[in-house]
């Protein structure tokens, strides 16, 4: 069995989340996440949130593999050192990033935030950029990059 966590095979890990609960524009955001990651990735391991059923269509030529959504993200953390790490939404898993010495990228969409404020399509409150960045700084110090999509 191949070890897809090896650097030469896997270069990017993408932790997703269900954003349908925030906005009717979630698929547009998923597409933006994919486009951004595609710029630097040759291979992507997708770790879906258990409630995420979004569609992530990466370009042909990018190797994509998914971890079963029932597998806790904490179980793969020890195996992703040296990989580019992306989050589609801030997650409790970021509290472990500093412990492992990982730097990560958190994506954010002002469009989702504005849609959540003004429309009735979301059932949960989507936090402001400042609030999300505050969580990241609190749990990760300066070991994260904020990506505005």
Dump pLDDT digits (tens) for 90-127: 888 999 999 999 999 999 999 999 999 998 778 889 99
SS3 56: coil
Residue 140 tokens, joined: 């990760």
Strand partners of residue 66: 46
14-31 pLDDT, tens digit per residue, is 999 999 999 989 999 999
What pLDDT score does 5 carry? 55
Q: How far apart are CA 37 and CA 34, in angstroms?
A: 5
Strand partners of residue 44: 12, 64
Q: Share the mean pLDDT of the chain.
A: 91
Burial letters for 34-53: b for 16+ Cβ neighbours within 10 Å, e otherwise?
beebbeebebbbbbbbeebe
Residue 26 tokens, joined: 């979630």
Other Cβ atoms less than 10 A from the Cβ of 73: the count is 19
Task: Determine contact, residues 89/112, Cβ cutoff 8 Å.
Answer: no
Answer yes or no: pTM beyond 0.85: yes
Looking up tokens 């429309």, which residue turns up?
Answer: 119
């Amino acid at each position: 069995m191949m070890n897809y966590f090896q650097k030469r095979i896997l270069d990017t890990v993408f932790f997703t989340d269900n954003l349908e609960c925030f906005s009717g524009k979630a698929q547009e955001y998923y597409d933006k996440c994919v486009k951004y990651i595609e710029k630097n990735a040759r291979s992507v391991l997708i770790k879906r949130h258990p409630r995420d059923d979004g569609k992530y269509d990466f370009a042909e030529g990018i190797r994509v593999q998914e971890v079963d959504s029932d597998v806790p993200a904490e179980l793969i953390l020890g195996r992703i050192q040296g990989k580019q790490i992306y989050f589609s939404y801030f997650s409790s898993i970021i509290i472990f990033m500093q412990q492992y010495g990982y730097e990560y990228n958190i994506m954010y969409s002002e469009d989702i935030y504005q849609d959540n404020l003004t429309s009735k399509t979301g059932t949960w409150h989507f936090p402001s950029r400042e609030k999300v960045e505050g969580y990241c700084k609190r749990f990760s110090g300066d070991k994260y990059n904020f990506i505005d999509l």
